[in-house]
Amino acid sequence: MHILLAILGFIGTIGMVLWRIKMAADAAKGLASTAKDAKNYMRSKRFEKKAAADPIKDVNDPREAAATIMVALAAFDGPISKAEETVIQQEIQTSFDASNEAAIELLAHGRWLAKDCGDLNTFISRLLPPIVRHCSMKEKHDLITMMEHVAAANGPPGDLEKDAIGFTKRHLGL
């Protein structure tokens, strides 16, 4: 009888040790899962911060700013027409001495930046700092000429387009 009790005690002890090992393994899995969740949380927060950032603040290239201004001017009264798109591409190619591929890329990037421009004059004022910093007076005059060409792509420019061009002239000191 005492041998049977010893065997049962031994089996019970082994069962208890195995149960403790299983509990420790489950705890380690839970800890690893928590660490992974924390890592993913931090990654998602970085992405949210990046997505919430204002992409206009990152525009430092005056060519990019000018292309975006032209797109915003063309898109302010509705979707960009084929004529406006063609004029913008031609202006980018001739004024910036850019290839057709570069013009298409600047146009696409300008569309992305101008997708929710809101008030046109406010949007333009946010894009003017790199132009003011890096462009000569001739280049500033060229921007106004480009804007006039885009505004006239579908016929005579409207009052809002004329106002935006005048606003840009005043802020560029022309």
Token readout for 162 is 């004329």
Q: Which CATH architecture has domain 55-172?
A: Orthogonal Bundle (1.10)
Residue range 63-89: average pLDDT? Answer: 86
**How many percent of the chain have pLDDT more than 70?**
94
**pLDDT of amino acid 49:** 66
Token readout for 79 is 């979707």
**pLDDT of amino acid 44:** 74
**pLDDT of amino acid 123:** 84
The 10s digit of each residue's pLDDT in 106-125 is 888 888 888 877 788 888 88
3-state secondary structure of 164: helix
For residues 29 and 34, give the distance between their C-alpha atoms in angstroms, rounded to a whole number: 9
Residue 169 has pLDDT above 70, yes or no: yes
**Could you tell me the pTM of the whole model?**
0.67
Residue 58 has pLDDT above 80, yes or no: no
The 10s digit of each residue's pLDDT in 78-97 is 788 888 888 888 888 888 88
- Exposure pattern of 78-115 as b/e (b: 16+ CB <10 Å)? eebeeebbebbbbbbbebbebeeebbeebbebbbebbe
pLDDT band of residue 18 (cuts 50, 70, 90) is confident
**pLDDT of amino acid 27:** 76
Give Cβ neighbours of residue 164 (< 8 Å, ≥ 6 apart): 73, 76, 120, 121, 124, 147
Residue range 140-151: average pLDDT? Answer: 88
